[in-house]
Each structure stands twice: as C-alpha cells, then as structure tokens.
Amino acid sequence: MGNKIARIILGIVIIAAILAGVYVILPGRYKSPLTAWFQSNFNSNYNSVVGPIKDATVPKHKDKTFDSVMTAATTSPAWTIKEISVDDAGNGMYEVYADGYKCTVTFENENTSDSMVTHTNAHVQLVFRVNKNGTEITMGDKEVKAGEKAYPDEINVDTYTYKKTDDSTYYQKTLDFLAGQ
C-alpha cells in the first residue's frame, strides 16, 4: 500500500513539474492571460487594484476606458499585477500591467514629417505604478477612479519604451492610436 501512495505522489510531482515547465516556456500572448486568470481567482487584492485602472479613461479620450481600448486594439488582452512593497493587509505599491498582442501601431515620425513609425503585430504593454491603501488606489497623489483619466507610467511597444516623462510625443500618440481603434 505504501508503494502505491509513493507512486501517486511521484506522479503528481512529475505532472506538476511538467506543467510548470510548459508555463515557463509559453510565449507571452498565452502566459499573460493565464497569469491574469490565476491572479483574478487566487489573489484577493487583484480586483481592487486592477478594477479602477481598467475603468479609468485614456487621457484626451473621455469616452474610452483602458479596458475597452485594450480589448478593441489588441488580441488576448490581459491585466496582471506585481506586488512591489505590500504588507499583510494588501496595502502598498503595485505595478499593474495591461498586455495586448498582435496590435499594429502607426503614427507620424516626429523627426521627419514625411514618414511614419509603424509597429506591426506588436506586443503593447501599459504599465501603471499604483499604491493601495484600504479601498483607495492612488497614482502619485491622485486617486484613481472609474471614469477619470489615468496616465500609464510607461508604454512598451515591441522593444520601445515611451514614458510619460519623455519629451517625445510618441507616448500620447500611442495612446491616441490605441483609443482610435
């Protein structure tokens, strides 16, 4: 009897190792939605942190929420969180990631007026750095609420990173393009 139990436990361990290995090598467009599903079902802070960001509006586009923009402009959109400095009650600093795939982003090149910048079948990632204190979610000193605008700290398109503090216009142009879908 003890030998059977050992075999069952060994089988479970081997299956778990295989599943973990498959998860590690999955491409992002499959891994991000899977991670989002796990977080939404097993992380008690997920909805309270992600919800206000998803329902916030895109700057200069009052009628578009980040959730609707990512759903319309990308394939397999996924919202995930990373705990940066969080206490036992779930309060502290988080990074919220909105990942979408197979998006083509095009806007005018700011260096030359006769060309365009195009990212074809790109991975687009919006990164928000937020603080949670009880039920309040803040970015900097401003509370994030549904229907009010929020600014991602950075936007990653393929290998390019556009930060909200950059002098470049590509940050807002990327948001405008995503909202125009």
Tens digits of per-residue pLDDT, 137-162? 988 888 888 888 999 999 999 888 99
pLDDT at 7: 87
pLDDT at 128: 95
Q: Domain total for the chain? A: 1
Q: Using an 8 Å Cβ cutoff, are 97 and 126 in contact?
A: yes
Tens digits of per-residue pLDDT, 28-65? 777 888 889 999 999 989 999 999 999 999 999 988 99
N- to C-terminal Cα separation, the chain: 62
One-letter amino acid of 61: H
Owning domain of residue 58: 2-179
Q: What is the mean pLDDT of the chain?
A: 87
Kindly report whether the global pTM for this prediction surpasses the value 0.95.
Answer: no
Residue 167 — pLDDT band, cuts 50, 70, 90?
confident
- Does residue 4 carry a pLDDT above 90? no
Q: Using an 8 Å Cβ cutoff, are 119 and 105 in contact?
A: yes
CA distance 137 to 116: 37
User: What is the SS3 assignment for 141?
Assistant: coil
Q: Using an 8 Å Cβ cutoff, are 107 and 117 in contact?
A: yes
- Does residue 101 carry a pLDDT above 60? yes
Quick one: tokens of 67? Answer: 């959730």
Residue 24 — pLDDT band, cuts 50, 70, 90?
confident
